[in-house]
Amino acid sequence: MRQFLIRRVPVTLLVLLGVTLGAFIMLHLAPGDPVLLLVGENTQSGTDSAEAIQQIRARLGLDEPLPIQYLRFIGGVLHGDLGQSIFQRRPVLNIIIDQFPHTAQLALAAILIAAVVGMTAGILAARAYNSWFDSLTMAAALFGVSMPGFWLGLMLILLFAVGLGWLPTSGQGTLWHLILPATTLGLGHGAILARLTRSSMLEVLHQEYMTTARGKGLRESAVLLRHGLRNAAIPVITIIGLQFGHMLAGAFVIEIVFARQGLGNILVTAILNRDFPVAQGTILFTAFFYVLTNLLVDLAYSILDPRVRYGG
């Protein structure tokens, strides 16, 4: 455990530093000057605008050399300061903190759906290996991983909101608003989990301890769940953890489909407006979240599976 932390934590810190550098470079090399956009909105005559541009540049610290801007940026990040939004004129961190719960709620609901649907389908398919049920489930799963999430979302809107009128097409606030987006995001990831759970179960089904468990007269469900699933679950749980990091980014597109508030919505708006502090902050926040989830998943993995010995 300590060994693992000693090895992984410095690497993670380096990766996070690299991520900040990446996010900084990407958005500062971007063409299209946001200050010009701002000035264009606020001033009329040509003589005023040159001065106004200089003022805004100085105010945002955009007139300093890039390395200085980067160091200031890192210093800011360490203090939880991600800069000011150019258009909303409020701290980027506040915007992210406002929006994160919406995205997290969607991702949590989706991971729940993915885990329940995916693992159930995978276990049942493995138990019925090579039957019509197995083939059908795997065909559905393959279809599920091939379907774009935003299209699945549109089809669910068409069926349940427009056709049957059971659920709202967009917006948020109630549980009813969450059902369609969470199902959309969950089913795609559930399809991946179903395939993985099945192959993982198939691997343990033929182990000797399964025969032993049956031999001592356990019920089939107990054999499958207590002896089979417990051993098959390790890679599955790992993937669920990794998927959660992915879901945050995956939720972005789904938020657009359902016109939901959240990080995806502010990121896309920021990119279209060239509001780079917001875009940079959101990308950075998501990447940090993803890296830290991965670290936690690896940690959980080393605790769950005594066979894994990091740095042994």
Partner 1 sequence: MAAEAMAIGRATQSSYLPRNQIYYLLGRLLRSRNGIVGGLLVLALALVALGAQLLSQYDPILPDIAAAFSAPSAAHPFGTDNFGRDILARVLYGARVSLLMGAIPIVLAGSIGVLLGLIAGYFRGWLETAIQAAIDVLLAFPGILLALAIVAMLGPGLGNLMIAVGISWIPSYARLARSSVLVARELSYVEAARAIGCSEARVLLVHILPNIVAPLIVLATLGIAQAILAGSALSFIGLGIKPPTPEWGTMLSVGRNFVRLAWWMSVFPGLAITVSVLAFNLLGDGLRDTLDPHSRL
37-45, 59-67, 93-101, 253-261 -> range binding partner 1 (CB under 8 A) = 253-261
Out of 6, 9, 13, 26, name the contact with partner 1 by CB under 8 A: 26
Phi/psi for 108 (5° steps) reads: -65, -45
- Work out how close the CB of 51 gets to partner 1 at its nearest, in angstroms, rounded to a whole number: 28
Of the candidates 75, 12, 86, the one whose C-alpha atom is nearest the C-alpha of residue 279 is: 86
Nearer to partner 1, 58 or 154 (CB): 154
| Residues 43-72 close enough to bind partner 1 by CB under 8 A | none
Neighbours of 43 (CB within 10 A): 15
At 84 the three-state DSSP class reads strand
267 near partner 1 (CB under 8 A): yes
Out of 6, 9, 13, 14, name the contact with partner 1 by CB under 8 A: 14
Nearer to partner 1, 37 or 218 (CB): 37
CB burial class (10 A; 0-12, 13-18, 19+) of residue 46? exposed
Distance CA(146)–CA(15), nearest Å, equals 31
Of the candidates 290, 289, 279, the one whose C-alpha atom is nearest the C-alpha of residue 23 is: 279
Nearer to partner 1, 243 or 302 (CB): 243
At 311 the three-state DSSP class reads coil
Cross-strand partners of 91: 84
Out of 40, 75, 101, 148, name the contact with partner 1 by CB under 8 A: 148
Nearer to partner 1, 49 or 199 (CB): 199
Site string for partner 1, 81-120 (x = CB under 8 A): ----------------------------------------
Cross-strand partners of 84: 91
| Residues 165-194 close enough to bind partner 1 by CB under 8 A | 169
DSSP annotation of 275: -
Q: Dig out the tokens for 262 from the structure.
A: 């959240």
Distance CA(248)–CA(105), nearest Å, equals 10
- Work out how close the CB of 53 gets to partner 1 at its nearest, in angstroms, rounded to a whole number: 21
- Work out how close the CB of 150 gets to partner 1 at its nearest, in angstroms, rounded to a whole number: 5
Distance CA(312)–CA(4), nearest Å, equals 9
- Where does this chain bind partner 1 (CB under 8 A)? 11, 14-16, 18-19, 21-23, 26-27, 29-32, 142-143, 145-151, 154-155, 157-158, 162, 169, 199, 202-203, 245-246, 248-250, 252-253, 256-257, 267-268, 271-272, 276, 279, 283, 286-287, 290-291, 294
